[in-house]
Amino acid sequence: MDWKLAGTTFLAVFLAELGDKTQLMTLTLAGSSAGKRTVFIGAASGLIASTLLAVLAGDAVARVVPIVWMRRGAGVLFISLGAYFLWDTRGG
């Protein structure tokens, strides 16, 4: 196992999820129910399932599209979304 890759992936996902709507929803569910462990198991299972889909999709795309183009596409998408959110004047 590549522990450096695992650590990098953990840190990236952990930081990306902080303050995310999924975390806020989980916070709300945990605060409004007695089943804290059940909320944790449900939220963790949902994150695992969505991550599995992303890994499988990434593997399938990588078989057809060279990694350099995947990275460029992801970069363009992130920059485009960032610019959109910075200049969106509708406010919500």
pLDDT at res. 33: 87
pLDDT band, very low/low/confident/very high, at 47 (cuts 50, 70, 90): very high
Instruction: Please state, for a pLDDT cut of 90, what percent of the chain lies above it.
Output: 65
pLDDT at res. 17: 85
pTM: 0.68
pLDDT at res. 18: 83
Distances (CA, A) of 21 to 12, 25, 43, 44, 65: 17, 6, 12, 15, 31
Residues 6+ apart with CB under 8 A from 40: 30
In this predicted structure, the answer to whether residue 92 has a pLDDT above a threshold of 60 is: no
Residues 6+ apart with CB under 8 A from 23: 17
pLDDT tens digit sequence for 57-73 = 999 999 999 999 999 99
